Amino acid sequence: MTETTPQALRAEALESLLVEKGLLDPATVDQVIVQYNERVGPMNGARVVAKAWTNPEFRKRLLADGTSAIAELGLEGAQTDKLVVVENTSDVHNLVVCTLCSCYPWAVLGLPPKWYKDPAYRSRVVREPRKVLEEFGVALAGDKAIRVWDSSAEVRYMVLPEPPADGRGLSEAALAERVTRDSMIGVEIL
Ligand code: FE
C-alpha cells in the first residue's frame, strides 16, 4: 500500500534513515505492523468483556486489577501496564478520553480511532459529555450519571459495557462477537 500523507512520508523517511544507520532492522518494523494489523485489536477487548459477563469471578478480578486480569487471557504490554476497567451499570455510564493526546490501551483495543485523537473530542467530551454522546447516537436517561475518565501515560481506561438486552443465553464466544470497540470506549451502547 502506498501512502502519501505528510505523516506517512515522514515516517518512511525516518525508517530509511534509521535502517541506513543500522539502528533499526526492517524485519522488526514489518513484525510490528503485522502485530497491529492482525493480532492486536478490539477483538482482544471483546474477549475480555465477554468473559467478564459470563464469569462473575473474572469480572471481579478485572474490575479490581485490569492489568493482571487481562494477563490471564495472554494479553499484556502494549500500553496496558496500568489498565483500569470501569463498569457501566443502570446508574452510571463511563466514557474514556485522553485530554492531553491519545493514550489508549492498545493490548485490548488496538490502535485508537482517528476521532479519539481529535482535539474537538478531547476537549468537548469533558465539557459536554451528554451532547457528544448524542452525536455518537447514544441517548442516555436524564438521571443516568456520566463519568469521564482521562487516560494518560500512567493509567489507561477501558469500559466494561452492559451486555446487550437480547444476549441472554448466548455463549461467551457469541457474546464476544457482539462487543464493539466503541462500546469499550464508552461511545456506544450495545
Ligand atoms: Fe495521551
Query: Considering 16, 68, 101, 123, which one is annotated as catalytic?
Result: 101
- In angstroms, what is the span from residue 138 Cα to ligand 1's centroid? 24
90 belongs to the catalytic site: no
**Which residue matches cell numbers 443502570?**
90
Q: pLDDT tens digits, residue range 145-189?
A: 999 999 998 899 999 999 999 988 899 999 999 999 999 999 999
Residue 169 burial by CB count (10 A; 0-12/13-18/19+): exposed, middle or buried? exposed
- In angstroms, what is the span from residue 61 Cα to ligand 1's centroid? 26
Residues in the chain: 190
- Same domain? For 14 and 64 the reply is no
User: Which of 190, 185, 184 minimizes the C-alpha distance to 163?
Assistant: 190
- In angstroms, what is the span from residue 83 Cα to ligand 1's centroid? 14
Count of structural domains, the chain: 2
103 belongs to the catalytic site: yes
CA dist 163 → 19, 73, 99, 108, 160 (Å)? 47, 20, 28, 18, 9
Query: Considering 98, 152, 171, 183, which one is annotated as catalytic?
Result: 98
Q: What is the pTM of this model?
A: 0.83
pLDDT grade, residue 80 (50/70/90)? Answer: low
- In angstroms, what is the span from residue 100 Cα to ligand 1's centroid? 5
- In angstroms, what is the span from residue 125 Cα to ligand 1's centroid? 15
DSSP string, 23-48: S--HHHHHHHHHIIIIISSHHHHHHH
Which amino acid makes up residue 50? A
Q: Does residue 1 sit within a domain?
A: no
User: Which of 84, 86, 105 minimizes the C-alpha distance to 145?
Assistant: 86
CA dist 29 → 9, 14, 36, 103 (Å)? 15, 12, 11, 21
- In angstroms, what is the span from residue 104 Cα to ligand 1's centroid? 7
- Same domain? For 117 and 28 the reply is no
Q: pLDDT tens digits, residue range 113-134?
A: 999 999 999 999 999 999 999 9
User: Directed axis angle between helix 42-54 and helix 56-64, to 10°?
Assistant: 120
- Same domain? For 45 and 21 the reply is no
- Same domain? For 53 and 21 the reply is no
**Higher pLDDT residue, 44 or 11?**
44
Q: pLDDT tens digits, residue range 12-26?
A: 888 888 888 888 887
- In angstroms, what is the span from residue 101 Cα to ligand 1's centroid? 4
Q: How far apart are CA 183 and CA 86, in angstroms?
A: 12
**Higher pLDDT residue, 154 or 95?**
95
Q: Does residue 17 sit within a domain?
A: yes
- Same domain? For 131 and 53 the reply is yes
Q: pLDDT tens digits, residue range 29-79?
A: 777 777 766 678 899 999 999 999 999 999 999 999 999 999 999 887 666
Domain of 27 in residue numbering reads as: 6-38
Query: Considering 16, 68, 90, 103, which one is annotated as catalytic?
Result: 103
Q: How far apart are CA 113 and CA 109, in angstroms?
A: 10
Query: Considering 102, 151, 152, 171, which one is annotated as catalytic?
Result: 102
123 belongs to the catalytic site: no
101 belongs to the catalytic site: yes
Which amino acid makes up residue 103? C
